Copies of this chain bind each other. A is one copy, B any other.
């Protein structure tokens, strides 16, 4: 039920948990690593990591690549992910929506979701500007660092939010501490208004717009975002929000909805 089990030290970890920890770690690193390096960097016993890596290799969940015994995510994961994508068929409409958004605004448009208890950009379309703004797709980012984050946790109670977000994620990239109560207040505001915008926390020159894409349960299953230069964002605020809301409305029947349900 809760995610506070690995805090207790000295316990033996379950193979499954360690295995997915390895997979997540490789995803974050986005490169092949030696089992030894993995063990060291995630702080797991070397013998356990070697055993697990070998098991995962046999399943095609990991693959040798990059030489010297380095491993990375395997083909089987691609197949499983493709099956997921095929079942919850949001990709096609999503791609079209982002393209339209980028055309209308000439700004960078993103489709974002929660990845466990963090935030991630699932799809992105760069705007048609001389200097384009882009971010890494597929990287996990602390929820409080992002505009979308305010929307993606809005269905939770205050206490649930505090339990859900890792405490250290309230430490902003510039070192400042974001008071959780401040964050929650912004969440509630975003929930009331059905949108959230701010000057980005992670850099000094962008403004971010986010609106929810509601799933079957009525809460934000995803968000659509625009990332703009601050001047442009503030100048075009109303128009941009209008584009976003229309785009989100168009998607609301696609995401997290089984294909032939």
Binding site for B on A (CB under 8 A): 1, 3, 14-17, 19-20, 23, 26-27, 30-32, 52, 55-56, 58-61, 65-66, 72-88, 113, 115-116, 120, 122, 137-138, 258, 261
Contacts and interface: CB of A to CB of B under 8 A. Distances in A.
Contacts of A83: 26-27, 30, 73, 77, 138
A138 B58 CA distance: 20
Contacts of A77: 77, 80-81, 83-84
A138 B19 contact: no
Contact of A115 (B20, B23, B75, B120): B75
Copies of this chain per assembly = 2
A138 B32 CA distance: 25
A78 B84 contact: yes
Nearest to A113: B75
Contact of A258 (B16, B20, B32): B32
23 contacts: A1-B58, A14-B55, A15-B15, A16-B52, A16-B56, A20-B59, A27-B79, A31-B87, A59-B116, A60-B115, A60-B116, A65-B87, A65-B258, A66-B258, A72-B84, A73-B80, A74-B84, A75-B113, A76-B115, A78-B81, A78-B84, A82-B122, A82-B138
- What 10 A-B pairs are tightest by C-beta distance, nearest first? A81-B81, A78-B84, A73-B84, A77-B80, A27-B83, A78-B81, A77-B81, A20-B59, A77-B84, A15-B16
B73 A87 contact: yes
Contacts of A56: 16
A138 B84 contact: no
A75 B82 contact: no
Contacts of A27: 79-80, 83
A122 B1 CA distance: 35
